[in-house]
Structure 1
Amino acid sequence: MASEKATKKSTASTTRRTLHYYWQVTRRHFGLFSLLMVSTFLFVALLSYGNPYVMSLIVDKVSAGPVSSDEVFSTFGPFIIALIAINVFGQAASKLQDFAMYKLQIAASYDLATMSFDALCNQSMSFHSNRFGGTLVSQTTKFMSAYQLLLETVTFPFLPVVCSVVFTCAILAPRVPVYVAILMVLLAVYAGISYYMYKRILHLNEKAASAQNHLSGELSDSVANILAVKTYGREAYERSLFDAANKDVVARDSRRMWASLTRGIITACITVVIMSVVTVFIAGGNAWYGITPGTLVMMFTYTYTVTNQFNFINNGLQRFNRAFGDASGMTATLDEPRLVADLPDASDLHVREGRIDFENIGFWYTDGAVRTRVFDGLDLHIPAGQRVGLVGASGAGKTTLTKLLLRLSDIQEGRILLDGQDISLCTQQSLRRSIAYVPQESLLFHRSVAENIAYGRPDASMEEIREAARRANALEFIEKLPQGFDTVTGERGVKLSGGQRQRIAIARAMLADCPILVLDEATSALDSESEKMVQDALAKLMRGRTSIVVAHRLSTVASLDRIVVLDDGGIAEDGSHAELIEAGEAYARLWNRQTGAYLE
């Protein structure tokens, strides 16, 4: 019980936060929103209430006595003109409503997509490492669709309901106050029960949306890794995971369906009671209260209209439930604190020399309740232009150190300086534009080869792109591709081999021409001949630049100015290749092990 109450409380909080984000967007287009509300008000007032009102006047006129044929237009002419005018302006209001609705949805969708994209792009790598990419895409799509659904629900069922109650009271209360009082009590009961059941069902919709997001994530994960699935013959296993997620969706949707049906049955019973009351009043209204035929017509028409509108409330609340449930995932993401964020007064970083200082670095990461410390009081000073290799056992923190330099994660203790500037006080974009980064797994977009190479310098000329490709030993294979530099690489570069992808990534780093270079196993995917050629190109690229090279193969770093061995949260050894070999410690043992393996 306590858990269920906590879940409902959390759902209510998420709903408020969703409305907060939606109102932020709506407020930017308040003119369109106001036009939508006013046009809806006029549409309901004229077509749903203006027409029956004029008709009631005609009925009363007819009931008063016969009208001769030559007096029809003189007697009913004003009513005819009024009906025509009401329908003309009512239809105009309807089209104005359509225009405002479309324009607002288009404008708001753009803003919501931008809001979601910015939130995802500005989150830390830790955030993305713990989430399915497919789930985040699904959440973004549902977040945008939920706004459109909410806007349509407010415009069509709910605003007309409010208008109907107001107009019914304003027109009928002076004529049949007892009837209006009874009707309002019944409608209040209807609305109260609907809202109570709406709150009970809301958390079911959030759970259903969460299950669907998980299903999208499972599908995305399997498709993205389809090669592993097929090569290991794990289709049945992946099918079982997908089937379990799919069954969870069915179970949660079924609970939501039965709850909605129950609410619909209860509210339908109240509608029957309301129509029974109006039938009694219409049957005996003239005899008991002297109500005119025209007023009886209005009573029936208006009551039928307002109860129909209230019937739509049930459907509208169901749509509200679905919308808030669909939006909950992205709302939680938007509420997620940014683990790596620029300070409000962050300045741009200006790197001229490329000196790097890691001072008393303390860093740990948490996975659930488990905290794993990676660095404890690490100090590392790299002079400008020095080429430094980082080696050590897996998990020693080599790649982590480069990611801290790039602020893909933030340190908990100490500081990192570039040319004496604390990177935590600078903007992340200016920092990363000063560092060319080539990771172990090449990162290619589903775009042309030329666009991928020029990603760090989009204003580069085609000649500069070709030259970067040549220096990275990539020009020859690129020119053999079907469309050369215009060839689309496929998602994550799937159309290219591992070595080809890596050489394009290296060409990108070459073209970026940054003062600091970070290579994280950058040549690991190359064959021996290509590796030698690329290493020669990288040697030229590193000349005069501060370079950090992460490598498991020690032959990759043996020729560098300095080698740092990381172990147990700190620096175990630090020196040139020759110095470390002479010392005969951890680096020498690793070197002997690797070269011994080569000799065997």
Structure 2
Amino acid sequence: MAQTDPTLTRRTLHYYWQATRNHLGLFIAMVCSTIGFGVLLTYGNPFMMSLIVDRVSAGPVAADQVFQVFWPYIVALIAINLLGQASSKLQDYTLWKLEIAVSYDLATQAFDALSNQSMTFHSNRFGGTLVSQTTKYMNAYSQLVETLTFPFLPVLESVVMVCIILLPRVPVYVAILMAMLVVYAFISYRMYKRILRLNEQAAGAQNNLSGELSDSVTNILAVKTYGREDYERALFDQANREVVARDSKRMMASLARGVITACIALCIMSMVTVFIAGGNAWFGITPGTLVLMFTYTYTITNQFNFINSGLQRLNRAFGDAAGMTTVLDEPRLVADAEDAQPLVVTEGRIEFKDLDFWYTDGDVKTQVFDKFNMTIEPGERIGLVGMSGAGKSTLTKLLLRLSDIQEGEILVDGQNVAETTQQSLRRQIAYVPQEALLFHRTIAENIAYGKPDATMEEIREAARQANALEFIEKLPEGFETVTGERGIKLSGGQRQRIAIARAMLADCPILVLDEATSALDSESERLVQDALARLMAGRTAIVVAHRLSTVASLDRIVVLRDGKIAEDGPHEELIQAGGEYAYLWGRQTGAYLES
């Protein structure tokens, strides 16, 4: 069985306290109103009634003397209830307001943590799981605060009020009661620690279930076209059964704790019954104090019973928050330097100097680049080609700082990208990948993503230059058409042209095209190639391609092999050299056939 990180709960509380501290006034008001509400209505009312009972038991009061004798008690009871109700309503307001305010901060905190993590981080996790963890993390705070407000603060004030009011009157009874409550609390805490681990495991199983569902739904086309519904259902069922097993263990442990604590509560009520029955005869306890003993003991026992459900909610809250707490604790693999400056691009010169980069998978280290050097002049259009795994796409991701190099430098106009802010770097580089990255938003919003303040005329012009205007205008809602999740409502060529229009509108001095045409049909490729030619004009461009016809017309072609430059030069020169590029060209164009 996996062991729970002993610091995880403390780390969760740390993050929650950071958010709560921003609204400290609301938190203090909530605590004070909760205490005031409980003290006044739960303990003030019975205390005043005990004084009335003692006064009544002291001797009869004439009918015409009732108000004269009892008016102080009546006024006190009205004042206690008035203040108690006001505290109750203040508690409702401050609790609700606090949850709203802190939930906003926690959502922002989680979003910032996820959006600022590296691509390596996201490639190793289900998107659906991260969304589920974020939602649970926010909801867990509300559970935690409500558990503090209702079972735990009232229990604390019950112990204090019982000691203050009953200890001077019946010290022996209070001593026995407190001893039994200590046993109750100790057993509850020990079982709480065990159930906390079970809750974290149950939350982890639920996150895996969400991840399986998300993965299957996201790739539903592959599932259906390969007839793998049964296979995906089996995977989902396995994760679902794990959730049932974990929840069942948590349920049995919680029920066992409930039975044990109920037995202790029964002992406590049995003791108070004996004391009330014989208290006056044995110890001369007044009727009013006997009323207080029963009322307070019954109240405190009920509140300790609520601790069971409170601890269960507390366990669930910490278990639900554990996933996102782990994410928040995760170090950023790519982070801005403390003194990072905005990148300023005036020419677009790119230099890779003595580049070392490797990645690890478990204990296996894979070296991608070793002392790699390459320079791209301002406005130069170069193609990166080579066999799969040669490092082509990796090089572009290192330029964008989606991963960080271990040694060496990447310079843009003489500025080390590691010393510039990531946002300013990426705003100077238009990136068009093989699969267009579209949001579930309108076409206009998708095109304007790189320039949110663009006018409609600018958006239309970018679409025109990207050869996208014609098909957009044929859509029933034109530019207001919602593309669907990841642009699913559009064809591959249409999505790619919208991505190119976005890059056109962003007007960055550096352009990176990563297999931007490899998945297109001939007609779509022709339209996209035409759009890309316009996009590359006047810009420093890096084009990653397996299809060599994509790069044949570029200024320079770099052939990578095992993270090193195997060949470098224009298309005609490389063909005449008869090396690796010429071989690949021949294979793709049929320039020669093997016998």
CA distance in 2, matches of 1:420, 1:353: 10
Q: Report the counterpart of residue 291 of structure 1 in structure 2.
A: 285
The DSSP-based 3-state class of the residue aligned with 1:346 is coil
Asked if the contact 1:502–1:525 (Cα under 8 Å) also holds between the matched residues in 2, the reply is no
The 5 Å alignment of 1:352-501 reads 352-501=346-495
Partner residue, 1:193: 187
> Given that residues 38 and 157 in structure 2 are in contact (C-alpha distance below 8 angstroms), is that contact kept between their aligned partners in structure 1?
yes
Give, in angstroms, the shift of residue 375 of structure 1: 1.1
CA distance in 2, matches of 1:269, 1:532: 80
Secondary structure of the 2:353 match is strand
Give secondary structure in 2 for the equivalent of 1:393. coil
Q: Secondary structure at the match of 2:454?
A: coil
Deviation at 1:395, TM superposition (A): 1.2
Q: Do the aligned partners of 1:378 and 1:570 also contact (CA within 8 Å) in 2?
A: yes
Within 1, Cα distance between the matches of 2:59 and 2:376?
A: 105
> Deviation digits for residues 499-546 of structure 1, max 9, x if unmatched?
111110011011110000001111223332342333233223212210
Q: Which amino acid aligns with 2:344?
A: H
Of the candidates 522, 529, 542, which is equivalent to residue 528 of structure 1? 522
Q: Cα offset for 1:598?
A: 10
Aligned counterparts of 1:240 and 1:540: Cα–Cα separation in 2: 49
* Cα contact 1:471–1:534 (8 A) shared by 2: no
Q: How does 1:239-258 map to 2 (within 5 A)?
A: 239-258=233-252
Alignment match, 2:80? 86
Q: Cα distance 1:276–1:598, how it changes in 2: closer, same or farther (>3 A)?
A: farther
Instruction: Find the aligned partners of 2:409 and 2:241 in 1 and give their Cα distance.
Output: 49
Give the whole-Å Cα distance in 1 for the aligned partners of 2:51 and 2:129.
Answer: 59
Q: Counterpart of 2:467 in 1: which secondary structure?
A: coil
Conserved in 1, the CA contact under 8 Å of 2:500 and 2:531?
A: no
Cα contact 1:506–1:522 (8 A) shared by 2: no
Q: What's the counterpart of residue 343 of structure 1?
A: 337
Code of the aligned partner of 1:269:
C
AA aligned to 2:360 is T
The code of the aligned residue for 2:513 comes to L
Change (3 A) 1:71 1:558: same
4+ residue stretches of structure 1 with deviation over 4 A? 597-600
Distance in 2, matches of 1:385 and 1:90, equals: 75
Kindly tell me the number of residue pairs found equivalent between the two proteins: 594
Name the residue aligned to 1:96. 90
Provide the rounded CA distance (Å) in 1 between the counterparts of 2:256 and 2:240. Answer: 25
Alpha-carbon distance in 2 for matches of 1:529, 1:305: 79
1:138 aligned to 2:135?
no
Q: CA deviation at 1:178?
A: 0.8
TM-score if structure 1 supplies the norm length?
Answer: 0.98
- Aligned equivalent of 2:224: 230
Q: Distance in 2 between matches of 1:64 and 1:71?
A: 15
Partners of 1:243 and 1:597 in 2: how far apart?
A: 53
Q: Which of the residues 273, 280, 286 maps onto 1:279?
A: 273
- Please give the alpha-carbon distance, in whole angstroms, between the structure 2 residues aligned to 1:468 and 1:399: 26
Partners of 1:358 and 1:415 within 8 A in 2:
yes
Shift of 1:70: 1.1
Structure 1 residue 599: Cα displacement: 9.7
Counterpart residue identity of residue 595, structure 1: T
What amino acid is the match of 1:297?
V
Provide the residue aligned with 2:545 in structure 1.
Answer: 551
Offset of residue 348 of structure 1: 0.5
Name the SS for the 2:358 alignment partner.
Answer: strand
In 2 relative to 1, CA 599–466 (structure 1 residues): closer, same or farther, beyond 3 Å? Answer: farther
User: Greater CA deviation, 523-532 or 466-475?
Assistant: 523-532
**Deviation for aligned residue 1:284:** 0.7
1:436-485, Cα deviation, whole Å (9 max, x unpaired)? 00001100000000000000001111111101111111001100111000
Q: Is the 8 A contact 2:389 2:562 kept in 1?
A: no
Q: Is the 8 A contact 1:354 1:515 kept in 2?
A: yes
Instruction: Note the 1:6-21 alignment, pairs <5 A.
Output: 7-8=3-4, 10=5, 12-21=6-15
Partner of 2:120: 126
**Match of residue 596 from structure 1:** 590
Could you tell me which runs of 5 or more consecutive residues in structure 2 were left unpaired when the two chains were aligned: none
Q: Normalization by structure 2: what TM-score?
A: 0.98
Identify the match of residue 36 of structure 1 among 4, 14, 30: 30
Tell me the residue number matched to 2:99.
105
Task: Give deviations 1:176-199, integer Å, cap 9, x for gaps.
Answer: 111111111111111111111111
Q: RMSD across aligned C-alpha pairs, in angstroms? A: 1.2
1:56 to 50, 62, 68: 50
1:313, distance to aligned residue in structure 2 (A): 0.9
2:571 matches 1:577: yes
Name the stretch that deviates more: 385-394 or 530-539. 530-539
Tell me the distance in 2 between the aligned counterparts of 1:52 and 1:112.
Answer: 41
- Spell out, residue by residue over 1:16-54, the C-alpha distance to the aligned partner (whole angstroms, 9 max, x if none): 100000000011100000000000010000000000000
Q: Which residue of 2 aligns with 1:260?
A: 254
